[in-house]
Structure 1
């Protein structure tokens, strides 16, 4: 979908982007990251020609962006920025509809698209359609900004540090929302950040830049386990590398069959086994506490795992609730397996599909 060939940008004879070449396939989530001044935002802005390139070539789905009329190019590319850029005198619905209105879509089509995107970003149209930007929280405004960027169904979405101005809790929620939206829409996304944890959480491909040059372009797992040099190793950070690895591995890759106890009472539970209710949901577990191997533990909603949960989050729940295993449940809450400390510790052996 996007190909950069020897992309270069010079100011006063100095290269701020120096001969970058990379390819991002259709539907991938690419992250540009690096220290301040490394050229990541400049690279992003050259893709939609907000900044003209000094050299090299940018292809969008095979088309050279330099040959496209700028209006046509920007209709094919959505753009979301840190400050959202919402028009303060327009309500949420009109802000989202900005580009479709410029394209002269029929009103009914615009209304349907606005409602569709508001639902996608968990913004109730009945509550938010008529609100103005000053009436929104930072997270809500950012959702509206991304929805506006997607309104005309562009081929590519560019995002320039979109979550950098929100608090850590809101940022984590927005990251989860962005992963969900990416999975549901299949859009090709190019995302700029300075936060390695954010990059590892979101990306299918990461481009690490330094002083205008591309140092390494890889999938997140490969970036961590096979860093190109000491700069990459130091930028990723070694102190919590194990936890970073766990953030890119999923419960479904390590879950095993749960052992059920054929009993209806807590008192008769023994050894290691699960007690389930009449709907197949886990209710208690024997022999799994870190501090008491004989204890019977009632299942709490807070430490239930799902197949799509990261192993980092699963491990965190095990440690916090002091249990050796977690129940893995489906969308209906039915027990479908378990995941435990033993699985976490066995992660030196890469399971099939871990490098995803």
Structure 2
């Protein structure tokens, strides 16, 4: 748990952070967001005592961080930044092992932790352990940076715009990885970003700052549906509000039973799924958008399947792109467990 109580930072008689109070519970993914210069990165750095606060208190659990030795605090808090900061002449394994070695962990424990984290971030140990940072792509290096921040199993992970320097495709992959890692580790995370879509995708709670002040701190759905004022409404953006709402709704909330045989009783064409011996969907009969043959047989490919935890915004995008009215929903083994359709999206509240 991280709690800020009246947090204030003053430079040259100007309050760049003004009386911020909020609480991020254990296991939550808290996001700080706002315009440039709003104080979000300054707030994050005060949590790690990289810069001193002027007034207020910061609690880690039930302890005031000002009462902790800096080295003790930083062993309890992992820190990942946009520039990554990997040591260029050290291997991936050596970079991840920095803090565990400072803590004098046994070599066997360090080696096991390196392999565990590489596996967590889908980096094969046999391939990546002995590589150097210059041999990694930007996305791979960023994953190693986050793995290093998690190496000593800290209570809290601070992340300062960690994906801001990578291309949009890599950024989306890293966001998905971060969601998965958070679900698996249940770490308390404080994440700074300037990207509202990124915040909505990742956050349990979002703090919107403006001119150093906390304007609203809420769950994503409450921010979207009950903005505190015009600034919050404008900052979130009204033009694609419906899609933003769907980014916080999941396929399993709209999932229906999948038909695997024709609906002869209806007397009209209707879609159904063909599956193989393992239960994996192979073909869609019907279900095309209106510019195609409504009874056409379409081979299912991996690019237009859905999973229960997929955001509905992504599922809807796949339907539009691949010109289908319905997607198959599969489990981890690839077996058909349901379907999600445009009719289902339009017929329910977002």
TM-score, normalised via structure 1 length: 0.93
Distance 1:282 1:68, change over 3 A: same
Match of 1:80 in 2: 80
TM alignment of 1:320-331, pairs within 5 A: 320-331=321-332
Cα deviation for residue 231 of structure 1 reads 0.7
Q: Which runs of 5+ in 2 are unaligned?
A: none
Match of 1:124 in 2: 124
In structure 2, C-alpha distance between the alignment counterparts of 1:113 and 1:298, rounded to whole Å: 42
SS at 1:259 equivalent: coil
Q: Which runs of 4+ in 1 moved over 4 A?
A: none
TM alignment of 1:40-59, pairs within 5 A: 40-59=40-59
1:204 has 2:211 as partner = no
In structure 1, C-alpha distance between the alignment counterparts of 2:225 and 2:240, rounded to whole Å: 13
SS at 1:319 equivalent: helix
CA deviation profile, 1:86-118 (whole Å, cap 9, x unmatched): 111211111111111111111111111111111
SS at 2:108 equivalent: helix
Q: Which segment drifts farther, 324-333 or 223-232?
A: 324-333
| Count of aligned positions | 344
1:337 has 2:338 as partner = yes
Cα deviation for residue 260 of structure 1 reads 2.4
Q: Which runs of 5+ in 1 are unaligned?
A: 264-268, 351-356
Cα deviation for residue 24 of structure 1 reads 0.5
SS at 2:87 equivalent: coil
1:104 has 2:98 as partner = no
Cα deviation for residue 262 of structure 1 reads 6.4
TM alignment of 1:339-354, pairs within 5 A: 339-348=340-349
In structure 1, C-alpha distance between the alignment counterparts of 2:145 and 2:135, rounded to whole Å: 14
SS at 1:22 equivalent: strand
Paired residues of 2:262 and 2:272 also in contact (CA < 8 A): no
Cα deviation for residue 299 of structure 1 reads 2.5
Paired residues of 2:262 and 2:270 also in contact (CA < 8 A): no
TM-score, normalised via structure 2 length: 0.95
In structure 1, C-alpha distance between the alignment counterparts of 2:34 and 2:164, rounded to whole Å: 14
In structure 2, C-alpha distance between the alignment counterparts of 1:108 and 1:213, rounded to whole Å: 47
Cα deviation for residue 121 of structure 1 reads 1.1
